[in-house]
Chains A and B, each alone.
Chain A
Amino acid sequence: MLAEEPEAVPLAGGTDLLVHWPAHHETRESTYLDLGQIEELRSHRWTEDALILGGTTTYWDLIRDPRTTRDLPLLVDAARQVGAVQIQARGTWAGNIANGSPAADGVPVLMAYDAVVVAQSERDSCEIPLSEFYLGYKEMRLADDQLITRIRVPLAPRANQRFDKVGARRAQAIAKIGLATVEAEDGWRVVAASLAPTVRRCPAVEALLDSGEAEYSLDGFETALATDVSPIDDIRSTAEYRRRVAARLLFFGPGSREA
């Protein structure tokens, strides 16, 4: 269908697209492609080396699968901090990716787990590492006729897994800062949300953690962060608050773990 009508907007849980729906007269005129009745997109499954999410797998689907807590705990941590139960029951991981918000909750933990996006169209099927998916603010490697049909999350030995979301409230809050940190076998993954136009890896912070220093300093994290992210003042927070608090989260989190 997307091949015939590339301007059609895919609709899954609707927890972002339908916000203030009655006021959005123009958007109501658009064509939407409802994915809810496509059964094959909903289910997730575990293979020997990965968790495969469907195109419409919800946050609640993973919260209620005990294996996720055991093998990919950050996915559950993040899912439980999305909105509230009513949103978790409808919101989808793929929708969070395709919506492209820099303040996304699902994207940072997926990225910290080296997730791969599978995007399909009539023409072909592509696999794009999530860490390479975003090109700029709301710009992504997804053509108009492509649909995210699966997200592959590799299983691997991981340690020191953390997800921190700083928000105005414990629930129903958009992140002022999001940080997902994981120590993988080949090095650290540090993923930041709400600190730049896109959710992104922080290579300078990762290099700092990979260097294996005996003792880290708050200044060291602030300096590394400054090359990786570019926080701004907006309605939710200030650049200075974001810089300082993100550095503290890194210092007291991965920077303070037992070697």
Chain B
Amino acid sequence: MDVNPVLFVNHLSKAFGKRPVLENIDMEVQQGEILGLLGPSGAGKTTLVKAIIGLESPDSGNVSVLGTTMPNLEIIEQIGYMAQADALYHDLTALENLQFFARLYGLSKLQQKDRIEETAQLVNLSDQLHKPVAQYSGGMKRRLSICIALLNKPKLLILDEPTVGIDPVLRKSIWETFRQLKESGTSIIVTTHVMDEAEKCDRLAMIRNGKIIAIDSPKQLIRRSNTQTMEEAFLFYGGVEDEN
């Protein structure tokens, strides 16, 4: 066990009006770990992710990243974030989008060029950079968003449904990239509702109705529930939710 987790979520609760969206969330992410957040849409994954980055302020509890309580602008600089919606400027080219975000994170001209080349290669967009984003397909936009999230060499990478609409071959290579990043010490949080993708994470937090119903390595989750698949495991933990 590491002494200092990269991310530490402590008793986090959040309600929209009277409806609770997150209830008493506790979790941590170590350096070089990939944590998956698995759950159906509406479970609270995106709200949790936004609370981590500081876009949602919690009603109670707190989030700290790299030992600092969020939101904090210096720490935000160390986080790579990819939102669920593709936050891109459609009338600009992909390159212009990348340059914009690179400048925003204070990369020098030389760094900009290097990082853009490097990250574009990773998501296989190198030859398409001069096209306006308006002409991009859904999958290409997702890849461009991943690319933007990687620009600042983040210590913590937060990806909200990164592989929606991306074809399986490319999805595999993107997960390859995540593995490489993990090897180099980056911590990654990935939300997903795809069960087979969830199995690729080091640890998995199953989220349902704003609560973490189980958190462990994918193998352990399946073993402990005496089931064969992640889907069955999810049903199992969701079912015993009331007893906890």
Partners in one complex: no
